[in-house]
Amino acid sequence: MNLLALARSAIPKRPDGRPEAAANDHLRRIATPAESTELMVLIQSVLAGSPDEWPEVHRIAVADPESALICFQARAAAAAPPPPDRFALPTCQQCGNLTRNGRCLAAGRGELPYVASKNYSPTSEKGRRCEGFLPQPGDADQRPGMERWPNIDAAPKDRI
């Protein structure tokens, strides 16, 4: 979508197609400093890949701040990723024991009783309970697999 059209779409149109703001110039107000700042933050979020367009889109948006805020707040909310599922099991791709070339270091050290190969390369992207799971430094939950699932079963096939 044309970025200027996106910004202009925030300004309501009259039935004759003219922008409402232009028709009501005498009622128009410019954005307050707080609105201007919020609009710039929203524009940078919604148009993150087009920084060259930010000043022009912002200039148009502050001409009708109320409509622009409604438009850009809705677009930012729609573009936001869904919140993470706190109860989802971690995948091997989230495990600190998975190397860049896809090898499991825990299996290489012989720490996984249900895996015979020292060159085990897990392929499943499903979440799993694994005693070898090692959280990454930024993870909110820093408990390793043995602590998270102390009563883990021996070697069900679906864990491999």
Q: How far is the CB of 109 from ligand SF4 (least distance, A)?
A: 10
Closer CB to ligand SF4, residue 8 or residue 128?
Answer: 128
Strand partners, 19: 13
Amino acid identity, position 106: A
Alpha-carbon distance values, 34 to 65, 66, 71 (Å):
10, 12, 17
Amino acid identity, position 118: K
| Closest residue by beta carbon to ligand SF4 | 132
40 binding ligand SF4? (CB under 6 A)? no
Structure-token pair, residue 133: 């799971």
Query: Under rule CB under 6 A, which residues in 75-104 are in contact with ligand SF4?
Result: 92, 95, 97-98, 104
Q: How far is the CB of 138 from ligand SF4 (least distance, A)?
A: 16
Per-residue DSSP letter, 154: S
106 binding ligand SF4? (CB under 6 A)? yes
133 binding ligand SF4? (CB under 6 A)? yes
Question: Which residues are CB-neighbours of 133 under 8 A, at least 6 positions away?
Answer: 90, 95, 97, 144, 145, 148
Q: How far is the CB of 134 from ligand SF4 (least distance, A)?
A: 6
Residues that bind ligand SF4 (CB under 6 A): 92, 95, 97-98, 104, 106-107, 122, 130, 132-133
